[in-house]
Amino acid sequence: MKIDRRAFLSLGLGAAAGTAITPVPWKLIDDSSIWTQNWPWTPVPPVGKVTHVNSVCTLCPGGCGITVRKSGDRAIKIDGRNDHPINKGGICMLGLSGLQLLYGSTRIQTPLKRVGKRGENKFKPISWGEALSLVQESLQTLRDEKKTKELACILGAQGVVADLFGRFFQTFGSPNIFKMQTAEDISAAGLKLMQGESSSIAYDFDNADYILSFGSGLMDGWGAPGKMFQAHGQRKSSLKQSSVRFVHIDTRLSNTAAKADTWLSVKPGTEAVLALGMAQYIIQENLYNSSFIKQYTNGLDAFKDLLDKNYTPQKAAGITGLDEEIIRFLAKDFTQAKRAVAVFGRGSLESPGSVQEFMAIHALNALVGNINETGGVWAKPTVETNNWIAAALDDIAIKGLNEKCIDPDAKDVSNRPHRLIDAIGKTKESPISMLWVAGANPLYQLSDQTSVQKAFEKIPMIVSFSSFMDETAVQSDLILPDHLYLEKCAEIMTPPGIQKPIISLLKPVVNPLFNTKHTGDVIISLAQKMGGSIAGAFPWSTYEECLQKRLGTYWKKLQDKGFVETESYKPVKRFLTASRKFEFTGEGHTAFTFNLTTIEGELKRFPLVLIPCDSIRLVADGSPTPPFMMKSLEDTVLKGNDVLVEINTNTAKSLGLKYNDVVSLSTPRGTATVRVNVHAGIMPDVIAIPRGLGHSAYDDYLAGKGVNYMSLIGPVEDTVTGQDAAWGIRARLSRA
């Protein structure tokens, strides 16, 4: 067939028309768009039967009730438990991200034995039988050589698990139990001196009408955060004026400062001096509750002596940088409220503070007589549970326990782990040959990280009980991984700062995903493997049985409801000191002494002050911050892998720095490269660094981002307890 012009054109037109009319190309485009959206790697979550399991969150000490939604055997969402007395339905972002920890890739899936060099992160999986035998053999050698005191542990764990460790150490014969320090230890030591109590402090925020916070990050992770947020929501609303006044003292405009009715800034570390200045004015002007003072207190005159000498509002103004008129006004304001509370505990309580600071602040509560009163302050109530019968000790144990703990001031337990690090650093050979670490991550959490690392290198054997491959686990020789909180049973006693007794029961939400074991069970098995009087002190076959016996009559109620609270709890109006009175100067002291906790560094070399900035969006206790939380960090906190430190607009100007500049941050303990965030809401000459970044361990979502604040500071001992009371350090910023 000859193709002429006419045929060519009609064929062409026909083809064009055909192409336009046929659905094929459109179908192809449609198919390709569907096809490009249906990659096999886009997951299709399987559908399962929906169930809900109630439990408790233990990712912080706050103890919020949670309800976990499950689809089949998978946990798919954590919500706050509506009827739990702590959080009443609310939940923080860490609690919400719990499943990213449960199903995360940094969990340790089986017992591990180190095969590479220390810290190389080369381990081989071993069985539980093998792992326990390894520990038992080493322990037996220590027993045989009568060197039981060479076993030490660092614990972050609380409650029955911590008690099991204690009992093991006692029957084994080692006095070297170290606990990570908490602010609760400090307030407990202070309350012992002033009120003769042995528990930490609690505040009745539900009924107080004036809250004066001395740097307490009530909205930044302080105490039981779920409770603190819930109480704030009750207090504050756009709909009506609140009848509660909330005054916050802070060096920077933290989230807590932003939520306070009044934010007053003092020079970092001088919060307690403001309290003393106020106290001086209150006493001088007779603004105190005279009937309470007369009937229930001792030592006001001695207290007054010190105040008149050193802490008049004028002098306090010089130290704190606040106007003295403001100090007087605040003092008057505080005494005019009906139920005013002065709150102790810096930031999110990661920096415990000093006993003298506690006493200075708590004295205000006594001056207004708001102790053991509704809307006031009292010692946190403890819940009576069944104690164990005293363990029988053999000769080796008795000999070991007669030796002194490495920390000479320790009674039973030392909450000064930095002294262990010190002792190891000072001697040629480590005084301990085996270290157990449970519920803590000292290679991230303790200050002066360089010394901690060096000390750990000297310890011949390190055993970690961690659920995650954290900094300490990486440096261990043997890892005996614990279940995660959603896989196990445990009890949670009244959280920090909570004024009414509450016990909650942690219940397994899912079956353990991996070959992990409850640390409580591991200790019981180890004890039984050791035999003799050690085994005799552990008559339980499982941890759960041990817990059940401890909780006694509460057990059934806890099983049914998940928590037991004493809602009607009222504080007893009494003081447990020998005089049965509140002692301003502390029991056994005739004068009130106060020294500001000094920080390291010379002013000349380090003209600025570095303080940590606590946030509910970062996990600061050495546990991992899950990806969702990292995602929620503002870009003024983290940019790429760089942390931004906050400095005042004027400080930036005088240093010639602007937002996002890369600078070198140096302190007497270390140097780091950071970026600068210029903000008007921080006092000049202060640098604030977010706490919780700078992990070398964990996954790519967290590791290598930012700087660990603890690597930039060193310990400063509290004059009363010897605990690390450092709240900051002198520092310098220079262009990198």
Partner 1 sequence: MKHSSTHQKTNKYGMVIDLDKCTGCGSCMVACMAENNVPFRKDETDKTKSITWMRVYKINNGKSFPETDICYIPRPCMQCGGVHDDGHSPCVSVCPAVATDYSQETGIVSQIYTRCFGCRYCMAACPYHARYFNWWDPIWPEGMERSLSPDVSPRMRGVVEKCSFCFHRYQLAKNKAFVEGRETLKEDEYQTSCTDACPSGAITFGDLNDPTHAVYTLKQNKHAFRLLERLKTNPKVYYLSTRSWVREACDNYIKGEMPQIAAAHHH
Q: Does 500 participate in binding partner 1 (rule CB under 8 A)?
A: no
Please give the Cα distance from 213 to 646 (Å, whole number).
Answer: 22
The residues in 257-296 that bind partner 1, with binding defined as CB under 8 A, are 258-259, 263-265
Please, which residue, 259 or 304, has the CB nearer to partner 1?
A: 259
User: How many residues form the binding site for partner 1 (CB under 8 A)?
Assistant: 84
Q: Does 100 participate in binding partner 1 (rule CB under 8 A)?
A: yes
* Residue 678, number of CB atoms within 10 A of its CB: 20
Minimum distance, C-beta of residue 205 to partner 1, in the bound complex (Å): 13
Please, which residue, 266 or 368, has the CB nearer to partner 1?
A: 266
The residues in 46-75 that bind partner 1, with binding defined as CB under 8 A, are 46-48, 69, 71, 74-75
The residues in 155-194 that bind partner 1, with binding defined as CB under 8 A, are none
Please, which residue, 38 or 286, has the CB nearer to partner 1?
A: 38
DSSP assigned state of 250: -
Q: Does 97 participate in binding partner 1 (rule CB under 8 A)?
A: yes
Alpha helices by DSSP H, listed for 22-84, are: 24-36
Instruction: Confirm if 574 and 371 have CB atoms less than 8 A apart.
Output: no
Q: Does 25 participate in binding partner 1 (rule CB under 8 A)?
A: no
- b/e per residue, 259-269, with b = 16+ CB within 10 A? bbeebbbbbbb
Q: Does 490 participate in binding partner 1 (rule CB under 8 A)?
A: no
Minimum distance, C-beta of residue 5 to partner 1, in the bound complex (Å): 40
Kindly indicate which of the ranges 182-190, 252-260, 370-378, 565-573 contains the residues binding partner 1, using the contact rule CB under 8 A.
Answer: 252-260
Please give the Cα distance from 479 to 513 (Å, whole number).
Answer: 17
Q: Does 699 participate in binding partner 1 (rule CB under 8 A)?
A: yes
Q: Which of 158, 230, 354, 356 binds partner 1 (CB under 8 A)?
A: 230
Q: Does 735 participate in binding partner 1 (rule CB under 8 A)?
A: no
Q: Does 427 participate in binding partner 1 (rule CB under 8 A)?
A: no
Letters for 595-634 (x = contact with partner 1 by CB under 8 A, - = none) are ---------------------xx---------xxxxxxxx
Please, which residue, 255 or 453, has the CB nearer to partner 1?
A: 255
Please, which residue, 64 or 161, has the CB nearer to partner 1?
A: 64
Please give the Cα distance from 205 to 340 (Å, whole number).
Answer: 10
* Residue 206, number of CB atoms within 10 A of its CB: 14
User: Tokens standing for 676?
Assistant: 């600068």
User: Tokens standing for 299?
Assistant: 């030592």
User: Tokens standing for 569?
Assistant: 């709890």
DSSP assigned state of 465: -
- Tokens 């890739």 found at: 105
Please, which residue, 82 or 133, has the CB nearer to partner 1?
A: 82
User: Tokens standing for 29?
Assistant: 């485009």
The DSSP line for 147-189 is -GGGEEEEE---HHHHHHHHHHHHHHT---EEE---HHHHHHH
Beta carbons within 8 Å of 394's beta carbon, 6+ residues apart: 171, 532, 533
Please, which residue, 269 or 668, has the CB nearer to partner 1?
A: 269
Q: Which of 92, 331, 367, 377 binds partner 1 (CB under 8 A)?
A: 92
Q: Does 635 participate in binding partner 1 (rule CB under 8 A)?
A: yes
Kindly indicate which of the ranges 45-53, 374-382, 451-459, 526-534 contains the residues binding partner 1, using the contact rule CB under 8 A.
Answer: 45-53
Please, which residue, 611 or 638, has the CB nearer to partner 1?
A: 638
Q: Which of 1, 23, 43, 656 binds partner 1 (CB under 8 A)?
A: 43
| Secondary structure of residue 498 in the 3-state scheme | coil
Please give the Cα distance from 565 to 577 (Å, whole number).
Answer: 28
Q: Does 105 participate in binding partner 1 (rule CB under 8 A)?
A: yes
Please give the Cα distance from 487 to 736 (Å, whole number).
Answer: 47
Minimum distance, C-beta of residue 76 to partner 1, in the bound complex (Å): 5
Q: Which of 57, 102, 188, 249 binds partner 1 (CB under 8 A)?
A: 102
Which of 493, 492, 496 lies closest to 184, judged by CA?
496
Instruction: Confirm if 88 and 234 have CB atoms less than 8 A apart.
Output: no
